[in-house]
Structure 1
């Protein structure tokens, strides 16, 4: 009987790993479905709100601000309590409710408040989800799993489905209805997390009862002060990169729909189709970039794919054909795969387990404050002053700085480090 349990333990751990990935894929993907909805609905809301570029930047920025603060608080709280699942359940349910509330607002101030509350709930999701995922993942699939969770999920639901579903709902029933329907999938995902997600993954039991007993002894991971986390070189570099990369992402995704409709004069349908190409790239690179980094290393993957990401906002300005622009977006919208590396994988391979959620929350939070909050505010002001192309150049500049910062990172990919150690041993 014991032999059967030992043989079955790895299979059980693998099944749970896949199940957890599927549930968290839906959870974080739906976060970005809600977050992206405002950008796609902005052209429809002009009749009721007459949003300026600056106001659109404020709405995007306030969500990033509360997202950042909530992410840092939730990560620290989770590490202190040693619990992640209850925080994740509450966060998913609340952001669904607050997203729906956006459809009830009749003025800019009310919409601003709804977006702020939505960010407060959403900010807790990523640190909790990635902390759970890294503990359930096999080493050989760590980058791939974390990329699917954070990059591909957001791309599929937020980048592909959101522009199609949201625009069609707004065309058929009005923009308010597009906000109202978001509560349904949120409640379903909350129920799945409550029913199937475990506080501790069974991965430690895969090697039999002895390993399980040992894992139980080390599970109460020692608490690590936040100041010690902030002394780690990779954590500091990842924070700086997050600031610049969030500027690239939030500015690009916030102002591209308006740039395509207002500056290029394209129809809402054409805009939606081009934005869907971003979603396709998001899904593709969201898992491909981290998976490639498992083999070639985190640092070279980050440098190479970010160099491509610089070209994406530049193409928005200079390419006049929707078909060509869509193709170029699929090729160059590589940043969301890189997000997984700097917000999840590299920190997870750098910090002790007892500080994991804290590190993820701080990196995401600081990045959202600088790039997600201040970035679109500056881009909105610059767009009102010099035209929407200014926002695209700000986005490109953010990615260019990331390329330079990435050279300061220390490699963390286990396979690469083992190859280096073996080469050094042979050389010695």
Structure 2
């Protein structure tokens, strides 16, 4: 059977596969979130409005969404995930280096657009490899490890390191920092991962992937609801990733490096949530843990908007809310990936992620930036709170088959 063929022959390979794909997604997050950590430097260095700052994330997000679905679907049809992933990582390294001579907003937008095209399919291909090559009993654990590393690199290392690089060598150096890891990971993918029977779809899957009509009503409902959850949760996540540094600098009067260190501690909380929540979902069910996570997520905007105590208290409240990012792999990977046939996993994951990118990652930052320009830097966080409220309603509607 296909599921039996997808189980790796030994635990050593499974851990190696999880580590390499996790690091690929981790440095994807490091690169994608760089505009938030470098936000104060971009506002000053290029004279940007907050709407323009949000648009930097949006232009990359729309490229990620489109190319993620197109290339993810291609990888499903061919089963050629390993070499395709390595090629995309090489292209991402080139795009990261291309920022170094940039000194205008228009040129930066073009480079970030190209970067999004290169990075778009890295996440769905990496996650489809993990989904296809993990033992079913360890899928939650493996996704948890993947998410833990993603937040430790993207939201702990990134916010700490990027302001330091910007202070010493300019914001261009911050964007270029991911080039080396991308190049090393491209080599690691080629040398350490396998295609073969453990991951490749059968010839029948390649010739004619099962149409959506063959999905059960519960499966179609689960995937559709995950699309809505992805869109709203991404609004919450992107608002914090893009505007929290600026909020802390303007509202609380901290320096950008101090704001970056605060975001780094949030990344630790996110890493804990990214490991613990998927692991708990193996035991207590995906839907139940999703609801817990959305409840935690609501803490962050409430604290941002209403807290008047010491800064360390705000940081604790934000950290509690940031544990919620651990639900991301549940609605983006585990639930949709387990609802469709193996030959459609990457395309389905890419569709969910892409929907989040287009609505949350493209529209969210632009609307949030406009709200900040018109009504003040606190306004985007009201939007974040509303988005989480919609997530709670959508999660409650997931079918009973989603345990």
Which TM-score bucket, shorter chain as reference? over 0.9
Unaligned runs of 5+ in 1: 1-9, 205-214, 417-428
Match of 2:304 in 1: 316
The whole-number CA distance in structure 2 between the counterparts of 1:71 and 1:368 is 10
Q: Is 1:193 aligned to residue 202 of structure 2?
A: no
Distance 1:385 1:203, change over 3 A: closer
8 Å CA contact 1:65, 1:372 repeated in 2: yes
8 Å CA contact 1:31, 1:122 repeated in 2: yes
Match of 2:4 in 1: none
Match of 1:393 in 2: 382
Distance 1:297 1:411, change over 3 A: farther
The whole-number CA distance in structure 1 between the counterparts of 2:46 and 2:216 is 42
TM-score (norm 1): 0.87
Q: Is 1:292 aligned to residue 292 of structure 2?
A: no
CA offset digits 1:8-50 (Å, max 9, x no partner)? xx99421111001111111110011111111111212333311
Q: Pairwise mapping of residues 40-79 of structure 1 onto structure 2 (< 5 A)?
A: 40-79=37-76
Compute the displacement of 1:377 (Å): 0.8
Distance 1:227 1:336, change over 3 A: farther
Mark the structure with the bigger radius of gyration. 1
Compute the displacement of 1:230 (Å): 11
Match of 2:391 in 1: 402
Distance 1:335 1:229, change over 3 A: farther
Q: Which of 210, 224, 233 is matched with 2:210 structurally? A: 224
SS of 1:103 mapped into structure 2: coil
The whole-number CA distance in structure 1 between the counterparts of 2:199 and 2:75 is 20
CA offset digits 1:115-145 (Å, max 9, x no partner)? 1111111110111011110122122211121
SS of 2:38 mapped into structure 1: helix
Q: Pairwise mapping of residues 91-102 of structure 1 onto structure 2 (< 5 A)?
A: 91-102=88-99
Match of 1:110 in 2: 107
Distance 1:276 1:113, change over 3 A: same
SS of 2:100 mapped into structure 1: helix
Compute the displacement of 1:190 (Å): 0.7
Match of 2:321 in 1: 332
The whole-number CA distance in structure 2 between the counterparts of 1:11 and 1:183 is 31
Match of 1:158 in 2: 154
Match of 1:180 in 2: 176
Match of 1:280 in 2: 268
The whole-number CA distance in structure 2 between the counterparts of 1:403 and 1:285 is 18
Distance 1:411 1:222, change over 3 A: farther
The whole-number CA distance in structure 1 between the counterparts of 2:212 and 2:187 is 33
Distance 1:122 1:226, change over 3 A: farther
Q: Which of 164, 169, 187 is matched with 2:165 structurally? A: 169
TM-score (norm 2): 0.92
Q: Pairwise mapping of residues 245-260 of structure 1 onto structure 2 (< 5 A)?
A: 245-260=233-248
Unaligned runs of 5+ in 2: 1-6
SS of 1:102 mapped into structure 2: coil
Q: Is 1:363 aligned to residue 363 of structure 2?
A: no
Q: Is 1:341 aligned to residue 327 of structure 2?
A: no
Distance 1:191 1:80, change over 3 A: same
8 Å CA contact 1:277, 1:329 repeated in 2: no
8 Å CA contact 1:274, 1:325 repeated in 2: no
SS of 1:333 mapped into structure 2: helix
SS of 1:198 mapped into structure 2: coil
Superposed CA RMSD in Å reads: 2.3
8 Å CA contact 2:160, 2:260 repeated in 1: yes
8 Å CA contact 2:271, 2:323 repeated in 1: no
Match of 2:129 in 1: 132
